[in-house]
Amino acid sequence: MIGSGSKYCTGVHITDDAVYAVQMSRRRKTISLSACARVDLPDPYQLPERLAEDVDRAALAAALRQLAVAGVECQRPYFGLGGTSSFVKRRFLIPNSRTETREQLMWEARQSLEDDYDDFVLDVLQTSRYGFVVAARREVLELYGVLCRQAKIGKPGFDMIPFALVNALEGGGAARDEGSDLLVQLEAAQGRVVLMRDGEFEAEAVWDWEDEGTAVSAARIDLLRSYVEGLLDTGQGTEAADRVWLASAQALDAGEHLAGLGRSITPLDPFAQLRRRTSADEALEAMPGGGAALAVAAGLAFRGLADV
């Protein structure tokens, strides 16, 4: 058990083939990696659709219970939202008024959702350049609550997957206030790229692969490059990112094919500035993909610690 003087959180990232978990603790201003683990799923798992199926949800609850066997406690789990469970819409700011911007963004969300408005939980993110409407389906959040009760773990907290990746970069001490950063996170069924500019979230691209394989094929690289180039298109040509960060095991495999998209291409290590328990360090060393594979889970844990 973590000492009573510590704050703690466990980020849980469910992919199509595994559950990744990162348990962190914070004592005063010091954040430590307490434990980390990967639990393989028996069948390909698509969120959030399969959360609504009793048998599929029971299988996922069983996988979450296995985290305790690996030494990961989930008394304060945070889950990443993506896919059809949520969306992030970018809008322009009202100059010099955060309050008016928030009101305008919420009004636009109500108009856009119309009769579905009550089906979503809404929030707003404002950066120096843009405002973002963040929406999550209420039914999906409730299903995560059911999942946690079945798994006998704590009540769930949430963050959007793109924001978790930003948290991972910042928590690892690699974020910069100048220039552009691309975070590349690839899974067997889906790809995601997040663009940060001058240290702030700016845009995200998410897509499903057109083939059913898992290998990093030439077709997948071409599709990935097309989405990256779309994010980096300034209207006067495509720029190269200052920094590209590889934020999953499959992204590491694709890294050698991304030359020209960034001035540097580096695996994302969200734990670079953290103290680590010996057991956590050993688990991290044995983890396929290392810290990069745990980037989303780590970002969720950082978010949970910030919410304490």
What is the CATH number for 291? 3.30.420.40
Does residue 158 sit in the same domain as residue 292?
Answer: yes
pTM: 0.94
In-domain check, residue 2: no
In-domain check, residue 1: no
Does residue 28 sit in the same domain as residue 148?
Answer: yes
CA 38 – CA 61 distance, rounded (Å): 14
pLDDT recorded at residue 29: 85
Does residue 28 sit in the same domain as residue 108?
Answer: no
In-domain check, residue 199: yes
pLDDT recorded at residue 3: 37
pLDDT recorded at residue 287: 95
User: In DSSP terms, which residues pair with 247 in a beta bridge?
Assistant: none
pLDDT recorded at residue 24: 97
Does residue 193 sit in the same domain as residue 146?
Answer: no
pLDDT recorded at residue 102: 92
Tens of pLDDT along the chain (308 residues)?
233 456 999 999 999 899 999 999 998 889 999 999 999 998 888 888 889 999 999 999 999 999 999 999 999 999 999 988 888 989 888 888 889 999 999 999 999 888 899 999 999 999 999 999 999 999 999 999 999 999 999 999 999 999 999 999 999 999 999 999 999 999 988 999 999 999 999 999 999 998 877 778 889 999 999 999 889 886 655 678 999 999 999 999 999 888 888 899 999 999 999 999 999 999 999 999 999 999 999 999 999 999 87
Does residue 33 sit in the same domain as residue 146?
Answer: yes
Does residue 156 sit in the same domain as residue 20?
Answer: yes
Does residue 60 sit in the same domain as residue 198?
Answer: no
Range of the domain at 213: 176-267
pLDDT recorded at residue 2: 35
**What is the domain count for the chain?**
3
